[in-house]
Amino acid sequence: MIVRRHLSEDDELTQHLTHQLNTPLEWPEEAGLNTQHVAKIAAAAACDVAFNQAANGHLVDLFAALPLPGTPEGREFWAELRRAAGDAALYIDPANAGGPFFDYLVKGNEGGIASRMLSFMGELDDQQRDAVAKVIGDALDHNAFGAGGRYLGKLWLRDAETSAWHVLLASRRAYETEDDRKRFLQAWRDA
């Protein structure tokens, strides 16, 4: 892991632990594991695995806000999306996504949906992206989100694209070795 977390008196995590949770950093004294150790473990875990899982979960949440495939509303929505996006829609279309699209996450293929999402976004030209934003925005529940139309669709697309990028960037770390991290840090020290 490249990120190192050090706790200081003014650190947000230190403030949270000591003031909100009322746990001194040295607690329990003379023990093998104290609050500061637990905080370092939590920070390392948050920087490593949880980020990828959270981004994937968020990507699933974005798709869950859309009309469900197989329902009348869903069939109409996905047909409109195919018309708006052209061939790019094949990357995320339920009928073409290779079966159980989101089951892949459960089976450990965490980058599959993200790759498809970025491929979808990369294939859209500006006109298609605008048309897709309108289709998505019109399908979202305006009462639940407090805005409407194309603007909501643009937010959805931007969020999905960024979440997919986060998944792929975080999954890249799975292939890094300790030597890779040392080489990275040394290169920046020598720059």
Question: Do the Cβ atoms of 38 and 24 come closer than 8 Å?
Answer: no
The whole-number pLDDT of residue 136 equals 95
Whether 12 is covered by a domain: the verdict is no
Q: What is the pLDDT along the chain (191 residues), one digit of tens a residue?
A: 333 445 556 566 666 566 655 666 666 666 666 666 677 666 655 554 555 667 777 888 898 899 988 899 999 999 999 999 999 999 998 888 766 777 776 666 666 788 889 999 999 999 999 999 999 999 987 656 666 788 899 999 999 999 889 888 877 766 677 788 788 888 999 98
Whether 30 is covered by a domain: the verdict is no
Whether 95 is covered by a domain: the verdict is yes
Question: Do the Cβ atoms of 69 and 78 come closer than 8 Å?
Answer: yes
What total of structural domains would you count in the chain?
A: 1
Question: How many of the other CB atoms lie within 10 Å of CB of 89?
Answer: 23
Whether 83 is covered by a domain: the verdict is yes
- Angstrom distance (rounded) from CA 144 to CA 146: 6
pLDDT tens digits for range 90-146:
999 888 876 677 777 666 666 678 888 999 999 999 999 999 999 999 998 765 666
Whether 26 is covered by a domain: the verdict is no
What token pair was written down for 99?
């079966």
pTM across the whole model? 0.68
Three-point CA angle 64, 68, 70, nearest 5°: 155
The whole-number pLDDT of residue 131 equals 97
Distances (CA, A) of 130 to 150, 156, 182: 8, 12, 44
Whether 96 is covered by a domain: the verdict is yes
Whether 121 is covered by a domain: the verdict is yes
Query: Which domain, by its residues, includes 92?
Result: 49-190
- Angstrom distance (rounded) from CA 149 to CA 146: 11
